Amino acid sequence: EAQLLESGGGLVQPGGSLRLSCATSGFRFSTYAMSWVRQAPGKGLEWVSGIGPSPTNTYYADSVKGRFTISRDNSKNTLYVQMDSLRADDTAVYYCARGSGASPFDGWGQGTLVTVSS
Amino acid sequence: EIVLTQSPGTLSLSPGERATLSCRASQSVINSYVAWYQQKPGQAPRLLIYGASSRATGIPDRFSGSGSGADFTLTISRLEPEDFAVYYCQQYGRSPATFGPGTKVDIK
C-alpha cells in the first residue's frame, strides 16, 4: 500500500520561504508522476504543481508559477516543493499526491499546514 | 481552465437512502477524465471513482459514477454511516487539473 508522509509545514512571514518534503514508501516512486495539492482553511482543493517520473518535466498552477519549485529525488523516494515569496493566500494544508494533473490522484499524504502570517 | 460546478451544495439524507451528486463542467471533458473523491473532517481526500465510472481499489460497489461530455454523476446507492462526508469531482482531461467546490452529504 502506498504511503506518503509530508513534513516541513509551519508559520512563515509574508515574503518568506519554506520547503516541504514528502517521503514515500510502498510503491515504485520513480515510475509515478507526483503532485502537490492544497486546501485553504474551510475551502476546496487546488492542484498546485506536478512532476513527471523524470525530474525534468514540471508543471505549475498559474497562482504559484515563478514562486514555487517542485523537485524529486528518486534515490530517496521523496518529493519536494520549494515555496518562495509566500503570500497570505498561500495559507493551506498542502497534500502530497500520487498522480499528475493528467491522471487521478490515487494516493494522498495526511497533509502539512502552511500558515503565512505576520 | 475548465470550471466545475457541483450540486447541490449540501445534501441532507438518512442512512439507507440514495444519494445523487452532480458535477457539471464548463466544457466537455476529454475522454471523460473525471474523478470523484471523498473527504472526511481532518482527513486527506480518498479517490473513489476515475474515468467517470471506474471504481478505485477497495471502493464498495454502492459507489458508482456515470456521465460523459460535461455532465457527470456520483451515486451512492444506500448511504452507510461512514459515507457522510464531502465529495469533490475533478477533471484531469485538460491542464490544469481542476476540482469542483464540493458537495457535503450530511445526516438528516
Query: pLDDT, tens digit, for every residue of B24-78?
Result: 999 999 999 999 999 999 999 999 999 999 999 999 999 999 999 999 999 999 9
| Triad A103, A105, A108: Cα angle to 5° | 160
Question: Are the C-beta atoms of A25 and A15 separated by less than 8 Å?
Answer: no
Answer yes or no: is pLDDT of B2 > 90. yes
CB-based contact A106 B37, cutoff 8 Å:
no
For every residue of B44-73, DSSP letters joined together read --EEEEETTTEEPTT--TTEEEEEETTEEE
Is the separation of the CB atoms in A61 and B96 below 8 Å?
yes
Q: Given an 8 Å threshold on Cβ–Cβ distance, is A105 in contact with B35?
A: yes
Q: How many CB atoms lie within 10 A of CB B75?
A: 14
**Residue B82 confidence (pLDDT):** 97
From the list B68, B4, B50, B67, the residue with the least C-alpha distance to A105 is B50
Query: In chain A, which stretches have pLDDT less than 50?
Result: none
The predicted pLDDT at position A101 comes to 81
B14 near A CB under 8 A = no
pLDDT of residue B86: 98
More confident residue, A54 or B100: B100
Grid-cell match 461530455, residue found: B69
Sort out which chain B residues have CB atoms less than 8 A from A108's CB and list them: 44-46
A8 closest CA partner among A108, A77, A95, A97? A95
Give pLDDT, residue A100.
87
